[in-house]
A and B are shown apart, each in its own frame.
Chain A
Amino acid sequence: MEVTININGEPVTREIEPALLLVHFIRDTPGLTGTHWGCDTSNCGACVVQMDGLPVKSCTVLAAMAEGHEIRTIEALSIDGVLDPVQQGFHEEHGLQCGFCTPGMIMTARALLDANPDPTEDEIRTAISGAICRCTGYSNIVRAVRWAAEHEAAQPRRS
């Protein structure tokens, strides 16, 4: 079947198997391998992208179901080489080691801050509770998201 999905504002059209998962549709698109594919069981959160502004696990959405919806991936966060405050926060606070969980963590955190610009540590931990990090022990990730919340005003952001 032919499917057109809007990814980061660009329509991408491809002939696909009906059972193709959104995560593979995204990763098969040139330049969009930032979204990671981990557990494939909706548990790890590495595949999180935003669908109409809400974070979703793209390993548990059929590509065909995303037609007509706006998908936003990690690649859309930095603008002209300037990192999104959440990305910058991960850099400042050492929010990653191997980086496998990072795209999903950042897309989840970005959606949290869009809905709640000043989250408590508890709210951050709840928001990322569907994402697993095997390296950092989470403390630095929480700090990174707080860093972003505190610096949000100072840097350019896509609305």
Chain B
Amino acid sequence: MIAGGHSLLPMMKLRLANPELVVDINDLEHLAYIREQDSEIRIGALTRHYQLLESEPLARHFPIFADAERVIADPVVRNRGTIGGSLAQADAAEDLSAVCSALKASVVIAGGGGERVVSMEDFHVGPYTTAIDDAELLVEIRIPVRPGAGSAHAKVERRAGDWAIVAVAGGLWLDGETIADAGLALSAVGLTTVHATRAEELLRGKRPSEELFAEAGAIASEDCSPSPDGRGPVDYKRHLAGELTKRALRRAAERARAGTTPGGHTWR
């Protein structure tokens, strides 16, 4: 299956993927949409990065998308790459998987036998492996819209347009001055997207504060498992995981309190 092709074609060039048959799904234009329905934001799998960046409903409900999209690859790559391909690729360094995990999204997978809805937690079953079967297609991403939401994405990369050294996606749902729910997921610090459940646990029921966010950052940095590579050694990556967790949560709390969000971003 090929959508934007910006993960699959590089993999084919490196001979990491050797498909005998490639099905181009770009003609399924009805799968490119962002709409509000049944207290959810629903995003079609073929929605491209630039469309996520420019979306007004997303900017209003989940500004974390614009945060992430501004630093995913470059504007020309963003004209092709899709959210479906990003999630289906299941690359641990990928940014939208962490965003969707932090927002407690679920995905709709369709096949000959009908559709099923799978939570992000059950969707990624391992490195580059998802719950999508051979004869199935990822068709939609659903994000619940709940009151008091604030969200933010924080990333450090080596140069403009590069993959993350570490990136953190954070979501907070405030009930007055109490954190009713929290979502936290990290990119590039494990074999798959790291869902920081222990830090989420800590945040729930507390009042947002710098100390609390620092504590959540310390836990997240312990609970991830980065590998040393050209992007940096393990201690540096753990440091970033803690620091970026604080930044994402701080930003998310500010946005939740403000209840408003910056407008969409125009030129791709």
A45 contacts across to B, CB distance below 8 A: 74, 76
Contact status of A126 and B267, CB under 8 A, knowing A41-B13, A56-B80: yes
- Would A116 and B266 count as touching, CB distance under 8 A? yes
Encode A43-57 as 1/0 by CB contact (under 8 A) with B: 101001000001111
A137 contacts across to B, CB distance below 8 A: none
Encode A3-46 as 1/0 by CB contact (under 8 A) with B: 00000000000000011010000000000000000001111010
A48 contacts across to B, CB distance below 8 A: 76
- Would B75 and A130 count as touching, CB distance under 8 A? yes
Interface status of B260 (Cβ within 8 A of chain A): no
Prevailing SS type, chain A contact patch: mixed
CB distance from B75 to the nearest CB of A (A): 6
Interface status of B9 (Cβ within 8 A of chain A): yes
Encode A103-139 as 1/0 by CB contact (under 8 A) with B: 0000010001001100100010011011100000000
Question: Which of B13, B22, B75, B76 is packed against the most chain A CB atoms within 10 Å?
Answer: B76
CB distance from B127 to the nearest CB of A (A): 21
- Pick the contact of B76: A64, A65, A108, A119 (CB < 8 A): A108
B267 contacts across to A, CB distance below 8 A: 112, 115-116, 119, 123, 126-127
- Pick the contact of B5: A18, A40, A61, A108 (CB < 8 A): A61
Distance in angstroms between the alpha carbons of A43 and B161 in the assembled complex? 9
Chain B, 16-60, CB within 8 A of any chain A CB? 22, 24, 26
Distance in angstroms between the alpha carbons of A56 and B160 in the assembled complex? 18
- Pick the contact of A40: B13, B22, B26, B266 (CB < 8 A): B13
B74 contacts across to A, CB distance below 8 A: 45, 129-131
Contact status of A65 and B13, CB under 8 A, knowing A130-B75, A130-B76, A130-B77: no
B10 contacts across to A, CB distance below 8 A: 41-42, 60
Distance in angstroms between the alpha carbons of A55 and B160 in the assembled complex? 18
Contact status of A60 and B266, CB under 8 A, knowing A40-B13, A65-B24: no
B22 contacts across to A, CB distance below 8 A: 18, 62
B104 contacts across to A, CB distance below 8 A: none
Distance in angstroms between the alpha carbons of A51 and B74 in the assembled complex? 17
- Would B76 and A56 count as touching, CB distance under 8 A? yes
B2 contacts across to A, CB distance below 8 A: 62, 65
Distance in angstroms between the alpha carbons of A155 and B6 in the assembled complex? 36
Interface status of B202 (Cβ within 8 A of chain A): no
- Would A60 and B26 count as touching, CB distance under 8 A? no
Distance in angstroms between the alpha carbons of A62 and B9 in the assembled complex? 8
- Pick the contact of B6: A42, A54, A55 (CB < 8 A): A42
- Would A54 and B5 count as touching, CB distance under 8 A? no
With CB as the reference atom, state the residue of chain B lying closest to A19: B12
Encode B66-87 as 1/0 by CB contact (under 8 A) with A: 0000000111110110000000
**What is B's interface to A at a CB cutoff of 8 Å?**
2, 5-6, 9-10, 12-13, 22, 24, 26, 73-77, 79-80, 160-161, 266-268
User: 9 nearest interchain CB pairs?
Assistant: A130-B74, A130-B76, A54-B79, A129-B74, A129-B160, A116-B267, A55-B76, A60-B9, A65-B24
- Contacts A61-B80, A65-B26 supplied; 12 other A-B pairs, CB < 8 Å: A18-B22, A55-B76, A55-B79, A57-B77, A57-B80, A60-B77, A64-B24, A65-B24, A126-B75, A129-B161, A130-B76, A131-B76
Question: What would be 26 A-B contacts, judged by CB atoms less than 8 Å apart?
Answer: A21-B9, A40-B13, A41-B10, A41-B13, A42-B6, A42-B10, A42-B73, A42-B77, A55-B75, A55-B76, A56-B80, A60-B5, A62-B5, A62-B22, A62-B24, A64-B24, A65-B2, A65-B5, A115-B268, A116-B266, A126-B75, A126-B267, A127-B267, A129-B75, A130-B76, A131-B76
